[in-house]
Amino acid sequence: MIIWLMGLPGSGKSTLATALKESFDKADVQSFVLDGDVLRKGICADLGFSVKDRSENVRRIAHLSKLMSQAGLVVIVASILPLEELRVLAREIIDDEAYYEIYLKCPLNVCQTRDPKGLYKKALNGEVKDFTGISAPFEEPVQPDLVIDTNKLSGEQSLEIILQSILLPEQGRGL
Ligand SMILES: Nc1ncnc2c1ncn2[C@@H]1O[C@H](COP(=O)(O)OS(=O)(=O)O)[C@@H](OP(=O)(O)O)[C@H]1O
Ligand SMILES: Nc1ncnc2c1ncn2[C@@H]1O[C@H](COP(=O)(O)OP(=O)(O)O)[C@@H](O)[C@H]1O
């Protein structure tokens, strides 16, 4: 199973990915977090933020996720995935693995206020180029499986909604 948390920088992807992993740990379900921020320091360190590089970044993450999922892990991806064409690419690669697109929806001005890494500030100063939300686009996901409003919901509430929707047996999509 692959759970892809997507959204603007500061929308809550890393926070929720960590919380989801903790929940899976407690339930003795083997899981692994692939965080864009972390991958870009290693396996994707050669890539920048042009559409071409983001596409290569997503291609690598999707293939990695698929392999890990096939090995029996629940894979939690935390990556912006800003364009619909990138979402199509990810879906095509992941193919028949159980896959959930979860959009962490949060207004740009709120993400900007949160600015956990100070990158919005740098982007507005021109110190960071092609920054999603400021100088690079973020398209609203067209067909997410779930939308979580992280502006209105707390981290705990967001986590609970994600767990409920993934584990709901009547949808035939449980673990
Ligand atoms: N120009 C620019 N645009 C967007 N993000 C930037 C940029 N430069 C550095 N960062 C940091 O990289 C993290 C996003 O990497 P991703 O691999 O998730 O991005 S993408 O899916 O390929 O668009 C992102 O992490 P999050 O804040 O967790 O989203 C940023 O910390
Ligand atoms: N519902 C929520 N879900 C996740 N994070 C939230 C939520 N509400 C507020 N936050 C806060 O927003 C910030 C999001 O930061 P982070 O998880 O690093 O975002 P991202 O990985 O998308 O850049 C954190 O400081 C977190 O405490």
| Model pLDDT, residue 110 | 98
Residue type present at position 107: P
169 pLDDT band, cuts 50/70/90, is low
What sign does the CA torsion over 61, 165, 97, 24 have?
positive
Report how far apart, in Å, the C-alpha atoms of 13 and of each of 1, 81, 127 are. 17, 11, 23
Nearest residue CA, atom 11 of ligand 2? 12
Tell me the three state secondary structure of residue 33: strand
- Where do the structural domains in the chain lie, given as residue ranges? 2-164
Residue with the larger pLDDT of the pair 172 and 56: 56
Q: What is the pLDDT of residues 25-41, one digit of tens each?
A: 999 999 999 999 999 99
Ligand 1 closest atom vs CA 81:
21
Cβ partners under 8 Å of residue 138, min gap 6: 8, 80, 82, 132
Compute the half-sphere exposure of residue 77: CA atoms within 13 Å on the CB side of its CA. Answer: 31
Tokens representing 62 are 């999707």
Best mutation site among 85, 93, 132, 138 for ligand 1, i.e. most ligand atoms within 8 A of its Cβ? 132
Distance 171 CA to ligand 1 centre (A): 33
Q: Quick check: CB of 147 below 6 Å from ligand 1?
A: no
Q: Which atom of ligand 1 is nearest to the CA of 35?
A: 18
Spatial distance between the Cα atoms of 98 and 171, rounded to a whole number of angstroms: 13
Q: What is the pLDDT of residue 167?
A: 75
User: Could you give the ipTM of this predicted complex?
Assistant: 0.98
| pLDDT tens digits for range 112-143 | 999 999 999 999 999 999 999 999 999 999 99
Under CATH, what is the fold of the domain 2-164? Rossmann fold (3.40.50)
Q: Are 101 and 13 in contact (CB under 8 A)?
A: no
Q: Is 149 in the pocket of ligand 2 (CB under 6 A)?
A: no
